[in-house]
Structure 1
Amino acid sequence: MEEINYKDYCVTSISGRYITYDHIDEFLNSLPVTFKTEVVGRSVRGEAIKSVVFGNGPKRILMWSQMHGNESTTTKAVLDLFNFMNQDSMEASKIWNACTIKIIPILNPDGARDFTRINANEIDLNRDAQNLSQPESKVLKKVYEDFTPGFCYNLHDQRTIFNVGTTHKPATVSFLAPAFDEDRNNSPSRKLSMQLIAAMNSKLQEEIPGQVGRYDDGFNANCVGDAFQMKGTPTILFEAGHYYNDYDRDVTRVYIFKALVKSLLTIRDNEITDYTVDQYLSIPENG
């Protein structure tokens, strides 16, 4: 694998915590036609919810960010990923040929504008997977059903208060393979989620040793990750957290980007089974 220099791909025009489609549309519109951008639905207030599809391979990956409007670190990392995939590199070319990737950069545009977790109807979209009471929830469900992904990435931010286990190190990135039942058993899809997280953790331990945590896996069928895991789709929760003095989360975005690339390379190369459930379980829980 060739070394990937993040600085070559960072979208420096997008930074800080407050990010709406106003901030990212110019970049999205600058992507070549091989990145297919479309409006997949509308928010409560009628703002367009967009998706970007790229790649032409059989391995299908669906990602969505800013389900909670004030959680924008992963959105920045996704833009960096677009930039990476738009460059002439062997690694990007191989991912392009092996995978088809669909990304919703901002699922909750009203919440993004208000810089709040909830949508304009004051509903937490990540507790609406069963009721599907909100237009944004229905958009995600339809995209999921139409795209039929082999993997789902649920991209979030977590609060600065979290540390790794009993250490004083911040949980700069945390992961979760969501449960699919009350007893938190391991289904085939959940095991794959765990193995893919173990792959990403192996990369991040080289970069930020001791700063990767494991998010609480209490089961809630109303959460989207749990709901998709119930349907048999390997789903991963990403939680972008704190790095020292990085209150704009522009350092954390680097590690989310590197985790995303590592995951895609692992899927591309059929290397998920090189990693184990025990390696996932060895990641300390968030403190």
Structure 2
Amino acid sequence: MEVPYYKETRVEGKYVPYGLLETVLKDYEHWYISEGFSEKLYPIPLYHIGEGKKCILIWSQMHGNESTTTRALLDLFKLFTQEGYPFNNCQLYIIPMLNPDGAIRYTRVNGNGVDLNRDAIALSQKESQFLRDTYERVRPDFCFNLHDQRTIFGVGDKPATVSFLAPAVDEDRNVTRVRRKAARVITEMNKYLQLSINGFVGRFDDSFNPNCTGDQYSLLGTPTILIESGFYPGDYQREQTRKYIAQALYVGLSYINDNKVGTEGWKHYLEIPENKKCFRDYCIIDDRNPQEKIFVQLEEVLEGDRIVFVPKLVSEDEGKDFQAHKTYLLSEICPWEHCDLHSKIPYILDYIRKEVENI
């Protein structure tokens, strides 16, 4: 299967505030149908594409600091405009940014400090209420729940660039027909991604939490596909990852469009290795005593209108059994004799800070 791709070049980098999104979305007003409002009264637009009988609900950035899938959706919007809408059997209902308050502040939570992905039962926030109202209105045949995941997740010795989940519907994680149908679609997306990022795809933990939106909508009877956009080597802005997400979405939507999705073959989903929290961004090893090492994690901080990456020492309480996206010998950073690893931590952090200041 050949998957076309166009990048929405006006939206690059991890910081996608509502104002920027609003400007870009003006190009796609022909798909706009309604909107809700955030707790701080920013609009939450809803778009409708297609006229088929199958209805699919897609939402992104319910966590404000998870923008990769929003950019991937904009890439699909651009593709549909350039190439024409290809899914004649499907209607798409798309919320590109559910949490504009958090997007502006670059926080996981919304303007009231609430994690919207733990609000699926309480529905205490305007954003959660709008999503549920849309769900009730659309009565989708499938949902796509789009997120980012941190650089700490890996699959074996590779970072988890994309991770999938068919959410559980009970504490025992029983594999119901709803879950099997979601897993069947995931199987097709994974098959395609393995052609370009073989070994970089993981399966997300399926612990059940009915407060989570994906679990709740699966519990309500809708096959829900959760996609986590993760880290590709060197790609801290997730520009490469956004391409893989857009392509995976295209493949998943194509499969739903072209097939009566059943459960045959769903077990291939279980062949996707479960991702683990096994990576840190940097590891510094003491040349004289290789057992002595420290790990450094990059923390994302909003400064003005850009995200900067601030190195933070990982506590020794977290252990030393991690892999790292980049490893240095101490002598490569501190070229002096008799360097002591722990005494040079401020120098090491400053070295990394300068290295990442332009990523």
TM-score normalized with structure 2 length: 0.75
Gaps of 5+ in 1: none
Letter in 2 for 1:220: N
C-alpha contact (below 8 Å) 1:199/1:275 kept by paired residues: no
C-alpha contact (below 8 Å) 1:196/1:275 kept by paired residues: no
Aligned match for 1:67, one of 59, 62, 65: 62
Letter in 1 for 2:101: D
CA distance in 1, matches of 2:264, 2:246: 20
- Percent same amino acid among aligned pairs? 51
Letter in 2 for 1:83: K
Superposition pairs of residues 74-85 of structure 1, within 5 angstroms? 74-85=69-80
C-alpha contact (below 8 Å) 1:199/1:272 kept by paired residues: no
User: Over residues 98-126 of structure 1, what are the superposed CA-to-partner deviations in whole Å (9 max), with x where a residue is unaligned?
Assistant: 11001101101000011000011111110
Decide whether aligned partners of structure 1 residues 118 and 101 sit closer, same or farther in structure 2, where only a CA change above 3 A counts.
same
CA distance in 1, matches of 2:223, 2:255: 14
Q: Secondary structure at the match of 2:145?
A: strand
- Quote the RMSD (CA, aligned, Å): 1.3
CA distance in 2, matches of 1:84, 1:78: 10
Q: Secondary structure at the match of 1:192?
A: helix
Match of 2:166 in 1: 177
Residue 18 (structure 2) pairs with residue 29 (structure 1)? no
C-alpha contact (below 8 Å) 2:7/2:78 kept by paired residues: yes
Match of 1:144 in 2: 135
Q: Secondary structure at the match of 2:23?
A: helix
Residue 15 (structure 2) pairs with residue 15 (structure 1)? no
Letter in 2 for 1:73: T
Residue 40 (structure 2) pairs with residue 45 (structure 1)? yes
Letter in 2 for 1:4: V
Letter in 2 for 1:52: Y
User: Over residues 102-152 of structure 1, what are the superposed CA-to-partner deviations in whole Å (9 max), with x where a residue is unaligned?
Assistant: 110110100001100001111111001111111111111000000111000
Match of 2:3 in 1: 4
User: Over residues 40-84 of structure 1, what are the superposed CA-to-partner deviations in whole Å (9 max), with x where a residue is unaligned?
Assistant: x11111111111111010111000001000000000000011111
Measured after TM superposition, the shift of residue 273 of structure 1 is 4.2
User: Over residues 240-264 of structure 1, what are the superposed CA-to-partner deviations in whole Å (9 max), with x where a residue is unaligned?
Assistant: 0000110000100000001000001
CA distance in 1, matches of 2:157, 2:91: 39
CA distance in 1, matches of 2:82, 2:140: 24
Measured after TM superposition, the shift of residue 26 of structure 1 is 2.2
Measured after TM superposition, the shift of residue 5 of structure 1 is 3.7
Q: Secondary structure at the match of 1:101?
A: strand
CA distance in 1, matches of 2:17, 2:46: 14
User: Over residues 215-254 of structure 1, what are the superposed CA-to-partner deviations in whole Å (9 max), with x where a residue is unaligned?
Assistant: 0000001000000001100001110000011000010000
Letter in 1 for 2:56: I
Match of 2:221 in 1: 232
- Higher relative contact order, structure no. (Cα contacts within 8 Å, ≥ 6 residues apart): 1
**Higher radius of gyration, 1 or 2:** 2
- Quick check: which one's strand share is greater? 2
Measured after TM superposition, the shift of residue 4 of structure 1 is 3.0
C-alpha contact (below 8 Å) 1:152/1:234 kept by paired residues: yes
Decide whether aligned partners of structure 1 residues 4 and 194 sit closer, same or farther in structure 2, where only a CA change above 3 A counts.
closer
C-alpha contact (below 8 Å) 1:171/1:241 kept by paired residues: yes
CA distance in 2, matches of 1:246, 1:192: 32
C-alpha contact (below 8 Å) 1:20/1:106 kept by paired residues: no
Residue 51 (structure 2) pairs with residue 56 (structure 1)? yes
Letter in 2 for 1:22: G
TM-score normalized with structure 1 length: 0.93
CA distance in 1, matches of 2:29, 2:214: 31
Decide whether aligned partners of structure 1 residues 31 and 273 sit closer, same or farther in structure 2, where only a CA change above 3 A counts.
same
CA distance in 2, matches of 1:106, 1:20: 10
Residue 259 (structure 2) pairs with residue 270 (structure 1)? yes
Aligned match for 1:107, one of 98, 104, 115: 98
Letter in 2 for 1:240: S
Letter in 2 for 1:58: K
Letter in 2 for 1:44: E
Which structure 1 residue ranges, 4+ long, deviate > 6 Å from structure 2? none
Measured after TM superposition, the shift of residue 275 of structure 1 is 5.8
